[in-house]
Amino acid sequence: MFTKILIANRGEIACRVIATAHKMGIQTVAVYSEADKEARHVQLADEAVLLGPAPSRESYLVADKIIAAAKATGAQAIHPGYGFLSENAEFSKRCEEEGIAFIGPRHFSIAAMGDKIESKKLAGAAGVNCIPGVNHAIETAEKAVEIAKGIGYPVMIKASAGGGGKGLRVAFNDKEALEGFTSCRNEARNSFGDDRVFIEKFVEEPRHIEIQVLGDSHGNVIYLNERECSIQRRHQKVIEEAPSPFISDATRKAMGEQAVQLAKAVKYQSAGTVEFVVGKDQSFYFLEMNTRLQVEHPVTEAITGLDLVELMIRVAAGEKLPLEQKDVQRNGWAIECRINAEDPFRNFLPSTGRLVRFQTPKQTMFQGNTAKLYGVRVDTGVQDGGEIPMFYDSMIAKLIVHGKDRNDAIAKMREALNGFVIRGISSNIPFQAALLAHPRFVSGDFNTGFIAEQYSHGFRAEDVPHEDHDFLAALAAFVRRKSRERAAGLSGQLPGYDVQVGQDYAVVELGKAGNNRYVPVHVDEFAGKHGEAQITVNSKTYAIASNSRLNDIRIEGTCNGKPFTAQIERGTLKNPLALQVQHNGTRIQALVMSPRMAELHQLMPYKAPPDLSRFVLSPMPGLLVDVAVSVGQKVQAGERVAVIEAMKMENVLFAAQDGVVKKVVAAKGESLTVDQMIVEFE
């Protein structure tokens, strides 16, 4: 067994590998870029080596620097995590040549499966179901349209070296095929240095279901059940679960056996995933094989009780798999939510900056420990006060729950999201909460088009309806009442000027454009019971009890005997006197005041924000990679104006209305801040 391994990655996956290595008594070496010198993975590892500047092409993607770091520190093996060099056959081969064990599959297996065109031919030869399509690289956009017509729309245009939603487009007509081909090629060239593109039939109402496989160097391969990954936004997974609520035992067995056939055909060693697209009739087709550890591996760990990272390390050290197919378990139900640094209310734009507060819900399951299950686990590479850089992926944490059944897992996840505190940047937690409460998700009736169909207009605050909205007003009144009680208890108050607690309040829920909601609230304190009160809102009574303190950002307690967790933030950018209350994904900003003050507040005029329609502003921090207009140019609404790159994704800005360009303020190649002006119209 190795005594020291180097983790050629960053963020949560680096921390995940470190946890198992330390459990096994193996020392760890972290590598980091200049942007990550204070990162959590650097602090957790036994040693750390600086690779270079922040951009990954100058640090995490430089194989020479990583191998030099391994040699300098005496690491006998390298774990690549996912992304970066994890599926780079040359890197795997290079490690082998340098006498360093690669904790992953052999280079020939990566090469065979890394090329999506060749992998389809191999899969077909191994007896795996494949989708109709053209498995050779297409040279021109015109040829792509011709082929797409021949297969029949809709078609999927994919970069051969693509992954993570990059270099992938779905086309429903000739125009989309033409544009999609060009975009795929450009994205693939920039992201992977390989611009080969192919086309295949797009299965309608598809589900994305993948099989986890595990092989060793002794020819043994097993499958560890499936993961349901159909909840996706722009081909990026959002929620994953195991098992799938859709497939039958017979389909599971057939998919698993085909996945094993394919793994054996390429002499697969280590953990890997065979992805399938599954039609509504449970027909399934091979999509691709990911020759690495997947982001969503914790849900498989929860239902099988296996530590996949440990098994990868043991296989890389030459050990046999410790179990056979008949030993693989499937206990309970696990769900994972990807917590991303993005603003769901601003079309999911990346959100970078300082994590002012970062508090995870209470964990009862831990990385590398499969003895403690049926609880909550958080895999993250960030911490309180850390920086979210714009150079890397937007995922900052994974929240995993394990329940007795699917409904239990959903309930646990909703409660865990309530207790996940992220301040300073925006996160997609409200969106995750909305998905978990959606009737179609709860019933298991969804496919990969679910988010695009249900949120075609984007995601808005009203898309997160609270099952009992008045509870939020009651909670705001409860917190305000506690603060008044504390103020009344301060000594040294002048007679006649002391703070009066009062029982009647008005909760003013601040709405858009001055459309506020005024709710009268009555508060009765239970005599002699500190931290308890009975609150009446719209004839409904809420008996709330909580020992949380006023400066706590999480409030935990019971309401009418049932436990709850909510978040309270005092003072917001819009109103320093407001309370922000967040529960089950719904967020309100409220002022709690006396009834007389509420009357006067209603008379206050609404001050409209300034009209910014003449300007194109940067909606996020990022790099301005293109300005598509020039001074004096007539621009129509919906026309492309600029392209900003942030968190490995290109974001196109379009004109909101017709106009003539007066000024181009920002130059190509400039680093932009939020709301920085790019273009001004006349």
Q: Kindly name the residue from 288, 296, 509, 532 that is annotated as catalytic.
A: 288
What value, to the nearest 5°, has the Cα angle with vertex 610 and ends 604 and 616? 155
- Three-state secondary structure of 432-459: HHHHHHCHHHHHCCCCCCHHHHHCCCCC
What value, to the nearest 5°, has the Cα angle with vertex 86 and ends 83 and 91? 135
* Alpha-carbon separation of residue 513 from 324, 608, 617, 656 (angstroms): 63, 7, 21, 20
CB 627 within 8 A of CB 652: no
Q: Three-state SS for 19?
A: helix
Quick check: is 288 catalytic?
Answer: yes
The CA distance from 125 to 119, in Å, is 10
CB 550 within 8 A of CB 479: yes
Handedness of CA 473, 478, 481, 483 (dihedral sign): negative
CB 277 within 8 A of CB 285: yes
The CA distance from 236 to 166, in Å, is 9
Instruction: Residue 582: name the closest of 481, 506, 475, 479 by CA.
Output: 475
Question: Residue 321 has what DSSP assignment?
Answer: P
- The tally of CA atoms less than 13 A away on the side-chain side of residue 140 is 3
Contacts (Cβ under 8 Å, ≥6 apart) of 289? 113, 119, 123, 262, 263, 272, 273, 274, 275
H or E element in which residue 601 lies: helix 595-602
Cis peptide before 243 (omega within 30 of 0): yes
Q: What's the N-to-C CA distance of the chain in angstroms?
A: 69
Written as six digits, the tokens of 309 are: 């990272």
Q: What are residue 423's DSSP bridge partners?
A: 357
Contacts (Cβ under 8 Å, ≥6 apart) of 33? 10, 50, 51, 52, 53, 54, 55, 56, 58, 59, 60, 391
Please state the φ and ψ torsions of residue 439, each to the nearest 5 degrees: -55, -35
* Alpha-carbon separation of residue 648 from 43, 478, 531, 560, 645 (angstroms): 25, 44, 47, 47, 7
Cis peptide before 154 (omega within 30 of 0): yes
Q: What are residue 210's DSSP bridge partners?
A: 227, 275
The CA distance from 104 to 309, in Å, is 10
CB 136 within 8 A of CB 289: no
Q: Three-state SS for 68?
A: helix
Q: In what order do the strands lie in the sheet with 671-672?
A: 649-654, 640-646, 622-627, 671-672
The CA distance from 377 to 416, in Å, is 9
Q: Could you list the active site residues?
A: 288
